[in-house]
């Protein structure tokens, strides 16, 4: 095809000015050479070559400052998806400004509040490429006293009030199930609001499950009305049945081998427990206490600052399933909107939410994950102590660049590679970068190409050419990203913005 276009460009101009007989001869040769239809060849030879148009310049609405602010909020939300992050941005911005963690420029704040979820995903796409990880989930089955407990399927829930919870267990056995007593997590998820409670247990035992249910019932801000479990013998036994009968709690179970009957809690097993704890193997009281400390901070962070989806309707057309969801909202916000919750409980929830600092909670989560990582049996890498700073301001200042390190959760961290501290060639921009930086400070809108053109005018003998254009573009991008932090974090990033960007 490229050869045909070159031939067309070569003889097209000669064909358009030729006489009738010459045109016929040129057309015969062109058709024989290219194999074109005669009418198509005539139209192609008559048309003039299109004039090269300059590349279209996209009018970007969201600049680098907005992108850097989104990265900070994305890290502060524990890396939510775009749709959930859009719902979390107003909550996080308000809370972080109230506690002095953010000092947003008014224009940046306005753009953050109006940015769409699709734009959030597009702006964060490059950042997310630095993080990679796969998760596997394990399950179990068991049978005991089934006939005495009614079956409840996924479609039987309808629209229950807060208080009906799905219950499941997650075993921290290192991925593949083996014999032995490992730490378990009891997960309870409210159907109406998505409120999630996690309780650490040193082993799988029905008496421990009874105590864990007691602890969870004292933590949730509403009355436990019913629990729905799978067919595990740890749940289907006389101890749990007596517990439910004594407290007037309705107990139901799912169908065997139908995990979708417990879709609410199964989703939290991955989105909450595995996301926080990972797939390491934990056993003993020490690991149980460390896991309990992790859940103390994470329960407040998840239930007050993590929006989640809730299914509104599902329609099946043959093999196609169409699902409709409510807008993402936090469990606390759903409780505040519920008519089944009294005003005193809502006031207590609002007061607690106003006193919580999401950055302090996230820092405590990272510290607990760091402790849990050191206890894990299958430790393959030494955790980086810098991931869990004690000072909240130091922790906050690292959110803007945490994505460069890849995975920041110590429970998911892989083996660290030895960083390369040497250069493979001489830095071609080292001699002229201070002058470039001065030009950029004076004229922030200068492009890398314009900087090279100005250098060629002022210093004709400079040993920099268009070959280094891409290197200079990356250097300018890093420089602008560092200076954009001043609009986001204010004085917290003042010292960082004056540093020279690292060499790509």
Q: What is the pLDDT of residues 403-458, one digit of tens each?
A: 887 788 888 876 556 777 777 778 888 888 888 888 888 888 888 888 888 888 88
> Does the residue 94 lie in any domain?
no
- Judged by DSSP in three states, 250 sits in strand
Give me the pLDDT at residue 3, please. 65
SS3 assignment for 61-73: CCCHHHHHHHHHH
Find how far residue 479's CA is from the centre of its chain. 25
CB atoms within 10 A of CB 312: 10
Tell me the CA distances in angstroms from 355 to 93, 304, 348, 361, 401, one per residue in order. Answer: 15, 11, 11, 11, 27
Q: How confident is the model at residue 277 (pLDDT cuts 50, 70, 90)?
A: very high
Give me the pLDDT at residue 143, please. 42
Q: Which of 297, 322, 355 is at the close of a domain?
A: 355
> Does the residue 486 lie in any domain?
yes
439 and 351 share one domain:
no
Query: Six-digit token pair at 395?
Result: 């922790």
Domain span at residue 191? 146-355
Contacts 24+ apart (CB under 8 A), 87-90: 87/307, 87/327, 87/328, 87/329, 87/330, 88/305, 88/306, 88/307, 88/328, 88/330, 89/113, 89/115
Give me the pLDDT at residue 419, please. 72
pTM: 0.64
Give, as one character, the DSSP assignment of residue 269: I
The span from the CA of 497 to the CA of 404, in Å, is 17
CB atoms within 10 A of CB 339: 6
> Does the residue 247 lie in any domain?
yes
Of 352 and 52, more confident: 352
* Cβ pair 263, 154 in contact under 8 A: yes
> Does the residue 277 lie in any domain?
yes
Sign of the alpha-carbon dihedral angle for 326, 331, 337, 338: positive
Element spanning 308, H or E:
none
Counting the structural domains of the chain, the total is 3
Buried b (16+ CB within 10 A) or exposed e, 81-118: bbbbbbbbbebbbebbeeeebbbbbeebbebbeebeee
Query: Six-digit token pair at 116?
Result: 């769409």
224 and 349 share one domain:
yes
> Does the residue 92 lie in any domain?
no
- Judged by DSSP in three states, 189 sits in strand
* Cβ pair 170, 187 in contact under 8 A: yes
Q: Which of 355, 378, 410 is at the close of a domain?
A: 355
Q: Which of 315, 338, 355 is at the close of a domain?
A: 355
Lowest-confidence range among 68-72, 217-221, 386-390? 386-390
> Does the residue 267 lie in any domain?
yes
Q: What is the DSSP pairing of strand 184-190 with strand 164-171?
A: antiparallel
Lowest-confidence range among 83-87, 263-267, 453-457? 453-457
305 and 452 share one domain:
no
Of 56 and 372, more confident: 372
pLDDT at residue 65 greater than cutoff 60: yes
Q: What is the pLDDT of residues 189-206, one digit of tens each?
A: 999 999 999 999 999 889
pLDDT at residue 492 greater than cutoff 90: no
457 and 347 share one domain:
no
Query: Six-digit token pair at 502?
Result: 């690292």
pLDDT at residue 16 greater than cutoff 60: yes
Of 88 and 484, more confident: 88
Q: How confident is the model at residue 503 (pLDDT cuts 50, 70, 90)?
A: very low
Lowest-confidence range among 144-153, 206-215, 251-260? 144-153
Cα separation of the two ends of the chain? 38
* Cβ pair 228, 167 in contact under 8 A: yes
294 and 174 share one domain:
yes
335 and 455 share one domain:
no
Q: How confident is the model at residue 174 (pLDDT cuts 50, 70, 90)?
A: confident
Q: How confident is the model at residue 497 (pLDDT cuts 50, 70, 90)?
A: very low
Give me the pLDDT at residue 428, please. 80
349 and 438 share one domain:
no
Segment 12-26 mean pLDDT: 85
Q: What are phi and psi of 52, to 5 degrees?
A: -65, 125
Q: How confident is the model at residue 60 (pLDDT cuts 50, 70, 90)?
A: confident
449 and 338 share one domain:
no
Share of the chain above pLDDT 90, in %: 37
Element spanning 415, H or E:
none
Could you tell me the CATH number of the domain that includes residue 281? Answer: 3.30.420.10
Element spanning 212, H or E:
helix 206-219
445 and 317 share one domain:
no
Q: What is the pLDDT of residues 137-165, one digit of tens each?
A: 443 333 446 778 888 888 788 889 999 99
> Burial of 434 by CB count in 10 Å (0-12 exposed, 13-18 middle, 19+ buried)?
exposed
Q: What is the DSSP pairing of strand 226-229 with strand 250-253?
A: parallel
Give me the pLDDT at residue 292, please. 94
> Does the residue 346 lie in any domain?
yes
The span from the CA of 397 to the CA of 395, in Å, is 6
Give me the pLDDT at residue 136, please. 41
Instruction: Return the residue matching tokens 């206490």.
Output: 289
Lowest-confidence range among 102-106, 111-115, 133-137? 133-137
- Judged by DSSP in three states, 195 sits in coil
What share of residues in the chain are helix, strand, coil (percent, to 5)?
55, 10, 40
> Does the residue 178 lie in any domain?
yes
Give me the pLDDT at residue 251, please. 93
Listed in sequence order, the residues at least 6 apart from 53 whose beta carbon sits closer than 8 Å to its beta carbon are none
Q: What is the pLDDT of residues 314-364, one digit of tens each?
A: 888 888 989 999 999 999 999 999 999 999 999 999 999 999 999 999 999
């Amino acid at each position: 095809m490229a050869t045909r276009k070159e031939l067309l460009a070569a003889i097209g101009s000669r064909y358009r000015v030729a006489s009738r007989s010459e045109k016929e001869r040129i057309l015969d040769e062109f058709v024989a050479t290219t194999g074109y239809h005669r009418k198509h060849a005539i139209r192609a030879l008559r048309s003039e070559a299109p004039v090269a148009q300059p590349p279209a310049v996209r009018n970007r609405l969201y600049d680098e400052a907005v992108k850097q602010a989104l990265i900070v909020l994305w890290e502060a939300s524990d890396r939510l998806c775009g749709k959930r992050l859009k719902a979390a941005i107003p909550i996080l911005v308000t809370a972080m400004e109230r506690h002095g963690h953010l000092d947003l420029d008014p224009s940046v704040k306005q753009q953050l509040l109006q940015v769409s979820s699709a734009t959030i995903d597009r702006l964060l796409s490059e950042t997310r490429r630095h993080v990679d990880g796969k998760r596997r989930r394990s399950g179990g089955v068991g049978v005991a006293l089934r006939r005495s407990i009614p079956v409840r399927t996924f479609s039987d829930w309808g629209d229950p009030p807060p208080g009906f919870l799905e219950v499941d267990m997650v075993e921290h056995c290192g991925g593949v199930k083996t014999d032995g007593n490992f730490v378990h997590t009891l997960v309870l998820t409210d159907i109406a609001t998505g409120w999630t409670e996690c309780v650490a247990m040193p082993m799988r035992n029905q008496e421990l499950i009874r105590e864990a249910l007691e602890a969870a019932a004292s933590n949730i801000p509403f009355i436990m009305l019913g629990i729905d479990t799978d067919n595990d013998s740890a749940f289907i036994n006389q101890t749990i049945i007596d517990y439910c009968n004594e407290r007037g709690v309705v107990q139901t179970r799912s169908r065997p081998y139908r995990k979708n009957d417990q879709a609410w809690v199964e989703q939290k097993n991955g989105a909450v427990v595995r996301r926080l704890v990972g797939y390491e193997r934990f056993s003993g009281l020490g690991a149980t206490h460390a896991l309990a400390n992790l859940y103390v901070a994470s329960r407040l962070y998840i239930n007050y600052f993590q929006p989640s989806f809730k299914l509104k309707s599902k329609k099946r057309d043959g093999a196609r399933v169409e699902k409709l969801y409510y807008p993402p909202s936090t469990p606390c916000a759903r409780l505040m909107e519920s008519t089944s919750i009294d005003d005193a409980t809502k006031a207590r929830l609002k007061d607690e939410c106003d006193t919580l600092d999401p950055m302090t909670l996230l820092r405590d989560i990272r510290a607990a994950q760091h402790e849990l990582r050191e206890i894990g049996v299958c430790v393959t890498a030494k955790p980086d102590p810098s991931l869990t700073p004690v000072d909240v301001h130091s922790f906050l200042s690292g959110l803007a660049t945490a994505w460069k390190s890849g995975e920041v959760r110590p429970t998911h961290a892989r083996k660290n590679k030895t960083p390369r501290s040497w250069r493979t060639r001489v830095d071609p921009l080292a001699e002229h970068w201070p002058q470039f930086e001065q030009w950029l400070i004076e004229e922030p809108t200068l492009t890398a190409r314009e900087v090279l053109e100005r250098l060629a005018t002022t210093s004709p003998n400079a040993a920099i050419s268009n070959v280094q254009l891409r290197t200079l573009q990356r250097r300018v991008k890093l420089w602008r990203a560092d200076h954009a932090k001043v609009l986001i974090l204010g004085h917290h990033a003042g010292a960082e913005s004056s540093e020279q960007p690292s060499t790509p």
